[in-house]
Structure 1
Amino acid sequence: MGRRRRLTESPSRPRSTTRALLWTAASAVLPGVAHLRAGRRLAGTVILACYLLLVAALVAGVLVLRDNLVLSATLATQDHWLLIAGIGSFAVAVLWMTVVVHSYAVTRPERSGWGGRIAAGVVVTALCLAVAAPAAAVGYASYTAYDLSNTLFGAAQEPHDDADPWNGQDRVNVLLLGGDAGKNRYGMRTDTMIVASIDVETGDVVLIGLPRNLENVPFPEGTALAERYPAPYGFDNLLNEVYQTVSEDPALAINPYASDPGADTLKQVIGFALDLDIDYYALVDMQGFEDIIDAIGGIRVYLEEPLPYGQRGEYIDAGWQTLDGREALWYGRTRVNSDDYSRMGRQGCLIKYVAEQAAPATLLTSFRSLAAAAKSTLRTDIPQPKLPHFVELAEKASSADMETLQLSPPQVNTAYPDWEHIRALVRGALSDAPQASPSPSASASAEGVPGAEGAAETPGQTEWQEYTGLPEPTPDSPGRQVGDEAAALDELCP
């Protein structure tokens, strides 16, 4: 009888607080083992089985998401999935901490001094914090993504179909704007204006750069801007002043109900001027651009010669350099010993470098700082349902062909632009059709003007030599494109 009684009795508790804490620590790594040690077989088995199922589900989820970029982006950008992730991580943390506390409760010795109890309380609390930390990180990341998604991206204004996110379009066009709103400047000028036209199948990109000093920009008929600035002379300021003009007088906005009427109007104005449907815009404050570059760990560039910048005689050394946010900003904006068009070229190179070097793993590890920088410096009208598909496009573009067409001299005269000729250049860059030749009106109207379209070339000289009078056949500044055909950034950017 005595032997039979001993077989049915529960295992004895550990005799010391140290052993009990060791079993409790083991339960923090493998929940349920402390309960099994204490003879709570049903509870221990259920806890351990739930834990193993959770681990298996997480591993399976990682394997599924690893090769499905759209699904990963959908989970990371849609509100309901972010809320599920946050609530789920909180629930797991609470349950896990409960298991840790109960593990010590079922294994602690029946008698323990005050010193042992205090030590046990400290250790169990530390274990609870340790198991809660990953869940807290997941919850915080979910909240950050939720806040960023709802702050920057709005609801779709048109029907959205995940099976056909681009509504049958071959290309999606996004206007990239860099706003220069320095402390010593009034308002904001969009000195950087680039239309990124992306092939939705291949990810190939054509960057159409518009100089800040384009004049006589035409406005869509029937708009308040067209009435205020009628043809033939049109707008009496530079293209980079359109945003601030609308901001100062909202009555001029094409859509006054847009989240940013100035940016939305500039998008529609540039689309009309280029005869191109521009789907979305993204406006980045150039000062905040520093934070974004710092968040992704900087960018690596090659300079054939030192690049001067600022008013203090500073410069970026020649050779391979990893630029931080401040240096990258100056790389894209300096005009010391150069001009607007050389700066445009370097900005195209910047886009190429960021697209190639901003790896998904880097973006994930720096998500918090990147989200904070984007929230304070980025404005866009890209709707939330489109985000996963833009992530997929960005992934394609990172390894696809990237070309640039800069609407700058010598192919375009910025003071006397021939907009029909400019539209022909854009059509040619975005199609496989032969490039259009300069229009007769361009040659006649711009005769005698340096850098005008249609200027006659001297036999044996390149367009660049004819335009500049220099012996070099091509520009030596990074990214500077010359000619009526779009050029590959791989060839223009070191």
Structure 2
Amino acid sequence: MGKRRRLTKTPSRPRSMTRALLWTAASAALPGAAHLRTGRRWAGAAILACHLLLVTALVLGGLALRDNLVLSTTLATQDRWLLAAGIGAFAVAVLWMTVVVHSYVITRPESSPLGRRVVAGVVVAALCLAVAAPAGAVGYVSYTAYDVSNSLFSADPEEPHDDADPWNGRERVNVLLLGGDAGKNRYGMRTDTMIVASIDVDSGDVVLIGLPRNLENVPFPEGTALAERYPAPHGFTDLLNEVYQTIADDPTLAVNPAAADPAADTLKRVIGEAIGLGIDYYGLVDMQGFEDIIDAIGGIRVYLEEPLPYGQRGEYLDAGWQVLDGREALWYGRTRVNSDDYSRMGRQGCLIKYVAEQADPATILTSFRSLAAAAKSTLRTDVPQPKLPHFVELAERVANADMETLQLSPPQVNTAYPDWEHIRELVREAVHGAQEPASDIQQTPAPSTSPGTGTAPESSPDDLTEWQEYTGLPEPSPTSPGRQVGEEATALDELCP
């Protein structure tokens, strides 16, 4: 007998459309499965290997980025990485859909009724959409980050940038935080919220310097068009919160007319000159947009020792622990019902403290779309793109650091006739001087008597606190959250419930 030739049997196609679709679905979850089933071993092994390598790379990349905020922010704000992520996601989606379609082609029965082929086509299309969805999400997030980064932040910093020394040797970075009150029912914008955050770049400790909106006789930098138009000592007769709109109405008065926002840039320089502190950057948010930002991060939790009234319809925030949504947080920081500008300033400092402590990175990531939309429509800043990763790292330190406030408000400052040399000395001591513990005046619990009622306790003038001398009230210290009295910076932990 002659030698028998040994034949290798090639796996056959599945005999039913149902089995073909099951193998196609398996290939959507584990690319290469259908190719191995039909005997295409080299192709199936290669597709499966590529898939496993991609999954491994994504897992290792996620682990590497999880605890590295600087690297994560760098990738999320640099155009080349955002472009690479978008193109990569698109390429993976196309290849994956190609594998799904080819898996169906090689597993479908050679002949089947038209109705079954139509149903199978719908199922395969659905599988393609399913595998393309994650890539589409990556592409959308990449585009959104690219759009926000290029809309809000300049790619070209005014000074050289070195990642090894991002703050150019400075021990502190100073940022002017502005809140504008622009609205449909009013002309222009007044910056009713003006807070300078001086941040220690090593420890993250912060001193918040609050400037009242009604400071008068603000000095302008020498040699500027503003100083020539409004010469000292009483040239500018409006309040500090009108400087922004003054520049917006007449950009020729701007210190740097070429700036992205000449009015905000000029206000930054004016305030820096007035308080004797070099301000590096500014951030301006429309207060109505602030509402959207708070909603995007899931609200903030605050404690109110007594109900806080607001609005013109008799509304109020209940006493006790409350989670405030964007609208309520906005009113918490803006209301002056049964209150005043300076109490409002104090609550705004508390808001900054609460947001810094409670803004959860995981929540920010899950709310990225709404947060990005709110920031793009309401935020303006001169922070350059290369600084963003380092600001994120700094923000992480701030969340776990000490936060103090110095409010340039009565009784420590006369807003109608401010002594700017004295103000500069207060700021210098708060930022650079040794920080002393809060005074006993500010730690003394307030009696149950409501503010504005009764008279000061019977005692000699030497026994009265600074707050009692200023107000004539019996309370030895303010009862409003965040309200500071005295010429020393005070810890916000003691002022904010």
Pair in the same fold by TM > 0.5: yes
Match of residue 66 from structure 2? 66
Map 1:166-181 to 2 at 5 A.
166-181=167-182
Map 1:272-287 to 2 at 5 A.
272-287=273-288
Deviations 1:90-134 (A, max 9, x none): 111001100111111111112211122111101110000000001
Distance 1:432 1:10 in 2: 84
1:480 aligns with 2:463: no
Deviations 1:155-211 (A, max 9, x none): 212211010000000010000000011222111000000001111111111110000
TM-score (norm 2): 0.93
Match of residue 97 from structure 2? 97
Q: What is the deviation of 1:433?
A: 3.8
Match of residue 146 from structure 2? 146
Distance 1:235 1:414 in 2: 14
Partner SS state of residue 174, structure 2: strand
What amino acid is the match of 2:353?
Answer: K
Deviations 1:398-426 (A, max 9, x none): 11111111000111110110001100110
Map 1:140-289 to 2 at 5 A.
140-154=140-154, 155-289=156-290
Distance 2:357 2:435 in 1: 30
Q: What is the deviation of 1:2?
A: 7.5
What amino acid is the match of 2:205?
Answer: D
1:467 aligns with 2:470: yes
Partner SS state of residue 13, structure 2: coil
Partner SS state of residue 305, structure 1: coil
Distance 1:362 1:399 in 2: 18
Q: What is the deviation of 1:318?
A: 1.1
Map 1:397-436 to 2 at 5 A.
397-433=398-434
Match of residue 451 from structure 2? none
State the identity %: 82
Q: What is the deviation of 1:432?
A: 3.2
1:325 aligns with 2:326: yes
Q: What is the deviation of 1:434?
A: 7.2
Partner SS state of residue 480, structure 2: coil
Distance 1:260 1:129 in 2: 43
Match of residue 445 from structure 1? none
Distance 1:2 1:246, change over 3 A: farther
Match of residue 126 from structure 1? 126
Aligned length: 471
Match of residue 41 from structure 2? 41
What amino acid is the match of 1:246?
Answer: I
Q: Given that residues 215 and 240 in structure 2 are in contact (C-alpha distance below 8 angstroms), is that contact kept between their aligned partners in structure 1?
A: yes
Q: Given that residues 177 and 196 in structure 2 are in contact (C-alpha distance below 8 angstroms), is that contact kept between their aligned partners in structure 1?
A: yes
Q: Given that residues 218 and 236 in structure 2 are in contact (C-alpha distance below 8 angstroms), is that contact kept between their aligned partners in structure 1?
A: yes
Partner SS state of residue 6, structure 2: helix
TM-score (norm 1): 0.94
Distance 1:218 1:128 in 2: 65
What amino acid is the match of 1:107?
Answer: T
Match of residue 458 from structure 1? 461
What amino acid is the match of 1:4?
Answer: R
Q: What is the deviation of 1:31?
A: 0.6
What amino acid is the match of 1:115?
Answer: G
Partner SS state of residue 430, structure 1: helix
Please list every run of 5 or more consecutive structure 2 residues that lacks an aligned counterpart in the other structure: 437-459
Match of residue 490 from structure 1? 493
Q: Given that residues 435 and 489 in structure 2 are in contact (C-alpha distance below 8 angstroms), is that contact kept between their aligned partners in structure 1?
A: no
Match of residue 440 from structure 2? none
Q: Given that residues 16 and 108 in structure 2 are in contact (C-alpha distance below 8 angstroms), is that contact kept between their aligned partners in structure 1?
A: yes
Distance 1:319 1:352 in 2: 18
**What RMSD, in angstroms, separates the aligned Cα atoms of the two structures?**
1.3
Partner SS state of residue 463, structure 2: coil
Moved over 3 A (4+): 432-435
Please list every run of 5 or more consecutive structure 1 residues that lacks an aligned counterpart in the other structure: 436-456
Distance 1:25 1:241 in 2: 64
What amino acid is the match of 2:411?
Answer: P
